[in-house]
């Protein structure tokens, strides 16, 4: 019963490419990329209550890992994904350690610093990391290949997240979010779970970053991973709302599709118009749904339940 929505979604995703043009396939890839990144952030913030505005940094590290491994060592592109996952997981753990001492807005600012600083590194070490021109993976891929890879990652991420969160780890995560003191006194080893959350979260973002690089002609450039990316992931997570995996789907769709939707609004025209529309829509969505899609779903839950089983 519970698996029906997931199965339906999987089928839709599988047959969609047959109906989409190349351009729209490309868009779908972006949806998948952001879905994975937002899922990562959602795990961190939604389930352990730690805020991060730094996930663009993890995406950058993952993306550069893919580009570098392909460019210098000629790795198979698919194999770079687990490598990226591993490396960003470790970086996530490293970031999670000082994060233990921070919370709330302080943590947000510190992670923001991380996101801002990481793209500067390729500019500094330009010889090895390619400077502002970036690093190029050694071969390019088709739209369909991208679609399959990105949505496979998305599917795997969804399942992994679901498994992780329903088990003991998930309960521990939720306990940390709701009350650190209570969690610690009931035996949850806080530092381990909090850093673990950062590691997992970063790993998801890292893989998303790798796929992003593959989707942009194999180029990893600092400009791709600017502040805006971290902000977009944050927006996506807020739109998704906390505590619902399906909300994350909506969040991914929102961020993946909105830029191009904004660009196609006729009256204002071209790139600046896109920002105006995007900004307006983000604001409107937050005004209407402060708790995101998850909040909306929670409000509808009792209604749905009464529809199925009417009150006496």
Partner 1 sequence: MTAFAQRLGSMRKNAVGTGASVPVVLFLIAAAAFLVIGSLVSNIFAQQTVAGLAQGAIFGSLALALVLIYRATEVINFAQGEMAMATTYIAYQLTLWGLSYWLAFFLTLPIAFLLGMAVQVVLIRPVQQSIIAVVIITVGMFILIDGLVTWIWGADLKFMKAPFGNTVYHAGGVAFSRQDIGVLAVSVFSVILLWLLFQFTKVGLAMRAAALRPAAASLVGVRVNWMLAMGWGLASVLGAVAGLMTEPTQFLQPTMMQAILLYAFAAAVLGGLESPAGAVVGGLSLGVFLNLIGQYIGFATPELRLPIAFAVLLLVLLVKPTGLFGRKQVRRV
Convert residues 287-306 into a mask of x (bound to partner 1 by CB under 8 A) and - (unbound).
x--xx---------------
Binding flag, residue 26, partner 1 (CB under 8 A): no
Stretch that binds partner 1, among 83-91, 108-116, 144-152, 205-213 (CB under 8 A): 108-116
Are the beta carbons of 183 and 172 closer than 8 angstroms? yes
Closest CB 110 distance from partner 1, rounded Å: 5
Q: Is 133 in the site for partner 1 (CB under 8 A)?
A: no
Quote the least distance from Cβ 145 to partner 1, whole Å. Answer: 32
| Look-up of token digits 């590691």 | 199
Pick the closer one to partner 1 by CB: 14 or 280.
280
Q: What is the DSSP string of 222-285?
A: GGGGSHHHHHHHHHHHHHH-TT-HHHHHHHHHHHHHHHHHHHT-TTT-HHHHHHHHHHHHHHHH
* 127: contact with partner 1 by CB under 8 A: no
Which residues ranging from 262 to 281 are in contact with partner 1 (CB under 8 A)? 268, 271-281
Interface with partner 1, residue 244, by CB under 8 A: no
Token duo for residue 93: 């753990």
Provide the CB-side half-sphere exposure for 9 (13 A, CA).
16
Six-digit token pair at 60? 């950058």
Q: How many CA atoms lie within 13 A of 290 on its CB side?
A: 1
- The nearest distance, CB 170 to partner 1, in angstroms, is 21
Q: Which of 108, 137, 146, 165 binds partner 1 (CB under 8 A)?
A: 108
Nearer to partner 1 by C-beta: 142 or 271?
Answer: 271
Residue 99 Cβ, how far from partner 1 at the closest point, in Å? Answer: 10
- 283 makes contact with partner 1 (CB under 8 A): yes
DSSP states of 17-69: GGT--HHHHHHHHHHHHHHHHHHHHHIIIIIH----S-HHHHHHHHHHHHHHH
Token digits of residue 5 = 């929505």
Kindly list the residues in this chain that would bind partner 1 in the complex (CB under 8 A).
98, 101-102, 105-106, 108-110, 112-114, 116-117, 120-121, 123-124, 227-228, 231, 234-235, 238, 268, 271-283, 286-287, 290-291
């Amino acid at each position: 019963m519970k698996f029906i929505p997931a199965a339906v979604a999987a089928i839709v995703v599988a047959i969609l490419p047959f109906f989409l043009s190349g351009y729209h396939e490309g868009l779908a890839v972006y949806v998948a990329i952001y879905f994975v990144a937002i899922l990562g952030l959602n795990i961190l913030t939604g389930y352990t209550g730690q805020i991060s505005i730094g996930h663009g940094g993890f995406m950058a590290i993952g993306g550069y890992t893919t580009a570098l491994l392909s460019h210098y060592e000629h790795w198979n592109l698919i194999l770079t994904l687990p490598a990226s996952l591993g490396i960003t997981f470790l970086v996530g753990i490293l970031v999670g350690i000082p994060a233990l001492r921070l919370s709330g807005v302080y943590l947000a600012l510190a992670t923001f610093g991380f996101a801002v600083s990481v793209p500067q590194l390729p500019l500094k070490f330009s010889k090895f990391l390619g400077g502002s021109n970036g690093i190029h993976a050694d071969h390019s891929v088709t739209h369909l290949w991208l679609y399959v890879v990105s949505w496979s990652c998305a599917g795997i991420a969804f399942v992994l997240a679901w498994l992780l969160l329903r088990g003991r780890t998930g309960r521990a995560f939720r306990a940390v979010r709701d009350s650190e003191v209570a969690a610690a006194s009931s035996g949850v080893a806080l530092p381990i779970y909090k850093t673990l959350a950062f590691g997992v979260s970063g790993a998801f973002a890292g893989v998303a970053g790798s796929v992003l690089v593959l989707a942009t002609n194999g180029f990893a450039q600092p400009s791709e991973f600017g502040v805006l990316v971290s902000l977009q992931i944050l927006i996506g997570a807020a739109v998704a709302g906390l505590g619902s995996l399906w909300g994350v789907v909506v969040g991914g769709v929102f961020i993946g599709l909105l830029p191009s939707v904004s660009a196609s609004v006729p009256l204002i025209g071209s790139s600046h118009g896109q920002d105006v529309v995007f900004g307006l829509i983000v604001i409107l969505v937050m005004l209407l749904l402060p708790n995101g899609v998850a909040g909306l779903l929670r409000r509808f839950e009792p209604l749905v339940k009464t529809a199925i089983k009417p009150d006496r």
